[in-house]
């Protein structure tokens, strides 16, 4: 079942790149006591994700953070090395935390998996953005197939 407004974010963990190499962060570490915008893309380096979705959040990061958001996090069903490389390629610096959901476990726990086998991409995550306040989903924006409207930075900024 898909996560809904008012529900607790599931427990889980994400891969992150640290100064010492691959590491992890738990959902509690990410969400507890914080306001977080969690953005999910079907894949790092893919066209809409690389040219519009992530860059939009980067361009509006200061405005989003000024609305009381502690963390903007971008998640994809990719490994930590790919997410780290994509973040460097897009110049996210410390404005957006890049999260790897390598096996898609967290995506499945949210009920937001995407069967992209037709495109040779396997199982991925849908394109979405969730505003999380102290571990509770307060806004859930999931894109319909082949659309890019409700989860883009401008829409999330308006929802804050």
Which residues are CB-contacts of 40 (< 8 A; sequence separation ≥ 6)?
Answer: 74, 75, 76, 107, 112, 125, 126, 127, 128, 129, 151
Residue carrying the six token digits 């991925």: 124
Instruction: Identify the active-site residue in 49, 112, 130, 137.
Output: 49
- Catalytic residue status for 74: no
Token pair, residue 128, equals 């979405």
Q: Would you name the residues annotated as active-site residues?
A: 49
């Amino acid at each position: 079942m898909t996560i809904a407004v008012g529900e607790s974010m599931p427990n889980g963990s994400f891969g992150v790149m640290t100064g010492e190499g691959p590491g992890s962060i738990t959902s509690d570490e990410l969400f507890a006591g914080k306001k977080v915008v969690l953005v999910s893309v079907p894949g790092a380096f893919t066209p809409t994700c690389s040219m519009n979705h992530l860059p939009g959040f980067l361009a509006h990061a200061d405005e989003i953070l000024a609305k009381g958001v502690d963390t903007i996090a971008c998640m994809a069903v990719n490994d930590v090395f790919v997410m780290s490389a994509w973040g460097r390629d897009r110049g996210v610096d410390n404005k957006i935390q890049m999260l790897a959901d390598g096996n898609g476990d967290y995506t499945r726990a949210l009920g937001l998996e995407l069967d992209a086998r037709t495109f040779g991409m396997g199982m991925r995550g849908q394109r979405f953005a969730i505003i999380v306040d102290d571990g509770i989903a307060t806004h859930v924006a999931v894109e319909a197939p082949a659309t890019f409207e409700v989860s883009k930075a401008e829409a999330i900024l308006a929802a804050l």
